[in-house]
Structures are given as structure tokens and as C-alpha cells.
């Protein structure tokens, strides 16, 4: 059911619960009648009502009514609190981003080549290609979000959703610094097509159609996907109107992969070797720029070959970073819940027994009357 809205700006998140307000008077009235009926029935079981009335004072009706009203207010406050009433507040406004960015990052073994040694600060000073990607994500992408959202997809032989779309920057920084490592995605090789398809699924899961969508690819150009799969990726990018930014990482000359910069599993499997080997041959890697340029030309995207840190600037790449301000809302839930609790305390505090002094006064008077 859609939120109930009044002309005064009052909204109810769960308006269907308001129907229970109509049941509260009936419930309290029935309980009041039942209590009076049971009290009269108990008196009848002990003897003549006139005789019992001489030695037993009934609870004042006003006190019972006060207790019933307190119970009714308690239930009404609880129902209103659960219906989640809010009111538009023109004084409270908060920014809401209109751009969703997904970073697609290659974490295969080739991203461990230290092509940027000596160019990055701590904790990225080992200078791996992946270190440069993480540094740019932290400095340029996260730093340029301005209330917009970022998601992260890592890939090697398979794609892995490292972080769903979010504007929770502390959590994103934790993921980028600790969870995104060489070999953190499953499989062998670099399946670029699977990475893009995973990014499309993240957009489908949590991206509004009115938002601008951007994919930032950090890769050294390694790609084991079939041509037909990449053609499908290009069609989807155009169909979804997704802006593509490609960052080419690495040198154009081949470099060996140091075993000490690989994952702990790969280090154990290649213990005693300085360079990563396959079947006794040292594996080398370089920037496969042609793959990235073909993707850029096919999609109309933008490409940056990264030699120095300052070669990439997110704000210059995305010309219209937007922040949309929407009216805030004032939440009545805590106050209604507090009122319900206070009414419950009042219902408990109101005594249910008759006044002891009055109940004893009548028999004493009876004994002092002359016969």
C-alpha cells in the first residue's frame, strides 16, 4: 500500500495499521465490562449481595475508567508509532547523489607487476599495477563521489562483486585497502566479459533508471573472453547508455611477475622461485593497449594510459557530478513510542484495590450503633 499523505505534509509509512485504532475502544470497553461482570459473579458466589456490600467496598468507577483510558492511550500510541508517521520538514535537507559508478578492477596475477615502484605513497609503495588502481580509486574516484554511489567488481577467471553500490565511504575504504588483493577473485586468466556482465547485474540490482551510470575499468589489457562475448558487452553498454572510462595500467614492455608480490597461496606454490613460472618458463606481462583501445573506440568511451599518478582525474572525466537536494522528513516514531510507554506506566500505577480505610470504616460504624 502506498504511503498515506495529507495536505499538511503528514505521511504514514504503514497506513494499513491505522485500522486497528477503531478496535481499541471496543477492546477496552469489552475488557471493562468483563471485569465488572466477573466481580459481580464472584460476589454472588459468597452470599447475599446486600450482606457482602456491608463489609466490602467496590473499586470506584472513576478509577476503573482512568485505568481504561490509560490502557487505550497506550495501545493508540503504539499503533500510531508502528504506522510510522512523518512530516515534511523544509528546514532539513540532505544531498542525494544522481550518479552510480562501478569500478571494474583486474586482480589477476599480471596486476602484481611493480611497474609503479617508487611512484606511490604508503601503503601502496610496492608499486604494483593493482596498487596504482587502489590508490586512484581512493584518491580520485572515492574522493570525487560527493554523495554519489560506488560499487566494485573484481575479476580474473571469474567476476566477483567486491562491493555493492553504496555511499558508505568508510566501508568502501576498508574493502579497497584490505579485501581487494591480487588473486581475490576466483579462477585463472582475465575474463573481461564476465566482469562487465557482473557490473550490469549490480546496476540492475540497485540503480535507478534516472541515475547516470558510469563504469571505470582498471586493467592492463589482459582478456581471455571470446569476441562474441565482448560484442555483447559493447551492445549492452550502448543500450544502457553507460559511460565507460578505461584506465590502462602497466608498461608496454614485458615484465616478469615477482612471486613475493603474489597472493600467499601463489607464494607457497612457487616457493624457491623469484619469478612466477608456468611449466618451468617465466611468465611476463605488459600493457595490452590494443584491447583497451578497441573497447574504447567501439563504445565511444574515454581512455587514459597511466604513466604518472596525475594522468588520471575523475572530476575531469565526469563533467557533471551532480548532487540533488530533497526535502527532509521529521519522524514522530520515538515520541509516540514514549507516550505509549508513559500511558502503560500510568495504567500500572493506578491502584486496582479499594481504599483500605474506607473499607474498614463501615464495619466499625456498624459495631458502634446501639441495638
Task: Please give the CATH topology (third level) of the domain spanning 99-321.
Answer: Rossmann fold (3.40.50)
Residue 146 has pLDDT above 80, yes or no: no
Residue 165 has pLDDT above 80, yes or no: yes
Residue 217 has pLDDT above 80, yes or no: yes
DSSP code string of 92-135: EEEEEE-EEEEEEEE-SGGGG--TTTTSS-TTSTT--HHHHHHH
pLDDT, position 87: 80
Residue 292 has pLDDT above 80, yes or no: yes
Q: How confident is the model at residue 289 (pLDDT cuts 50, 70, 90)?
A: very high
Residue 185: exposure state from Cβ atoms within 10 A (0-12, 13-18, ≥19): buried
pLDDT, position 50: 64
Specify the 3-state DSSP secondary structure of 218.
Answer: strand
In the sheet that 99-106 helps form, which strands lie side by side, from edge to edge?
Answer: 159-166, 149-155, 99-106, 212-219, 243-248, 302-305
Q: How confident is the model at residue 45 (pLDDT cuts 50, 70, 90)?
A: low
Residue 360 has pLDDT above 50, yes or no: no
pLDDT, position 291: 94
Q: Could you tell me the end-to-end alpha-carbon distance of the chain, in angstroms, rounded to an integer? A: 75
Residue 91 has pLDDT above 60, yes or no: no
Q: What integer best gives the mean pLDDT of the chain? A: 84
47: left (phi over 0), alpha (psi -120 to 50) or beta: left
Residue 158 has pLDDT above 50, yes or no: yes
| Mean pLDDT for the stretch of residues 156-162 | 95
Q: How confident is the model at residue 1 (pLDDT cuts 50, 70, 90)?
A: very low
pLDDT digits (tens, 9 = 90+) for 311-350: 998 876 665 556 666 666 778 888 999 999 998 898 888 8
* Segment of 28-37, 69-78, 107-116 carrying the highest mean pLDDT: 107-116
| Mean pLDDT for the stretch of residues 73-94 | 79
pLDDT, position 88: 72
Residue 253 has pLDDT above 70, yes or no: yes
Q: Give the residue from 304, 281, 275 showing the smallest Cα distance to 109.
A: 275
Residue 197 has pLDDT above 60, yes or no: yes
- What share of the chain has pLDDT > 90, as a percent? 49
pLDDT, position 135: 94
Domain coordinates in residue numbering, the chain = 4-90+328-368, 99-321
- What share of the chain has pLDDT > 70, as a percent? 80
Residue 312: exposure state from Cβ atoms within 10 A (0-12, 13-18, ≥19): buried
CB 247 within 8 A of CB 219: yes
State pTM to two decimals.
0.65
pLDDT, position 2: 45
* C-alpha cell recorded at residue 123: 601503503
Residue 255 has pLDDT above 80, yes or no: yes
Q: How confident is the model at residue 171 (pLDDT cuts 50, 70, 90)?
A: confident
CB 206 within 8 A of CB 164: yes
C-alpha 232: how far from chain center: 31
Q: What are the beta bridge partners of residue 88?
A: 329
pLDDT, position 53: 60
Residue 8 has pLDDT above 60, yes or no: no
The better pLDDT of the pair 365, 168 is held by 168
Residue 366 has pLDDT above 60, yes or no: no
pLDDT, position 46: 61
Amino acid at each position: 500500500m502506498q504511503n498515506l499523505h495529507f495536505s499538511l505534509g503528514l505521511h504514514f509509512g504503514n497506513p494499513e495499521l491505522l485500522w486497528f485504532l477503531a478496535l481499541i475502544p471496543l477492546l477496552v470497553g469489552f475488557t471493562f465490562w468483563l471485569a465488572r461482570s466477573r466481580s459481580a459473579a464472584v460476589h454472588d458466589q459468597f452470599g447475599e449481595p446486600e450482606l457482602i456490600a456491608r463489609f466490602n467496598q467496590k473499586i470506584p468507577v472513576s478509577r476503573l475508567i482512568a485505568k481504561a483510558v490509560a490502557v487505550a492511550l497506550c495501545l493508540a500510541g503504539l499503533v500510531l508509532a508502528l504506522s510510522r508517521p512523518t512530516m515534511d520538514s523544509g528546514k532539513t535537507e540532505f544531498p542525494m547523489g544522481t550518479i552510480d559508478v562501478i569500478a571494474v578492477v583486474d586482480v589477476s596475477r599480471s596486476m602484481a607487476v611493480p611497474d609503479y615502484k617508487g611512484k606511490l605513497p604508503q601503503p601502496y609503495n610496492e608499486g604494483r599495477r593493482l596498487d596504482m588502481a587502489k590508490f586512484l580509486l581512493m584518491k580520485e574516484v572515492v574522493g570525487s563521489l560527493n554523495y554519489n554511489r560506488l560499487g566494485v567488481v573484481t575479476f580474473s577467471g571469474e567476476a566477483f562483486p567486491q562491493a555493492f553500490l553504496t555511499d558508505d565511504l568508510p566501508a568502501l575504504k576498508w574493502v579497497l585497502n584490505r579485501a581487494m588483493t591480487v588473486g581475490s577473485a576466483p579462477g585463472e586468466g582475465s575474463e573481461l566479459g564476465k566482469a562487465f556482465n557482473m557490473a550490469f547485474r549490480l546496476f540492475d540490482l540497485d540503480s535507478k533508471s534516472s541515475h547516470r551510470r558510469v563504469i571505470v575499468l582498471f586493467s592492463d589489457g589482459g582478456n581471455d573472453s571470446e569476441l562474441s562475448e565482448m560484442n555483447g558487452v559493447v551492445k549492452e553498454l550502448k543500450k544502457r547508455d553507460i559511460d565507460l572510462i578505461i584506465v590502462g595500467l602497466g608498461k608496454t614492455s614485458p615484465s616478469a611477475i615477482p612471486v613475493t608480490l603474489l597472493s600467499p597461496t601463489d607464494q607457497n606454490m612457487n616457493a624457491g622461485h623469484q619469478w612466477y613460472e608456468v611449466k618451468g618458463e617465466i611468465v611476463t606481462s605488459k600493457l595490452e593497449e590494443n584491447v583497451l583501445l578497441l573497447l574504447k573506440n567501439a563504445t565511444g568511451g574515454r581512455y587514459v594510459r597511466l604513466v604518472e599518478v596525475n594522468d588520471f582525474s575523475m572530476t575531469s572525466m565526469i563533467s557533471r557530478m551532480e548532487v540533488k537536494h530533497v526535502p527532509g522528513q521529521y519522524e514522530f516514531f520515538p515520541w509516540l513510542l514514549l507516550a505509549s510507554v508513559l500511558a502503560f506506566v500510568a495504567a500500572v500505577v493506578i491502584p486496582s484495590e479499594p481504599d483500605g480505610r474506607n473499607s474498614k470504616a463501615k464495619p466499625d460504624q456498624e459495631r458502634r450503633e446501639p441495638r
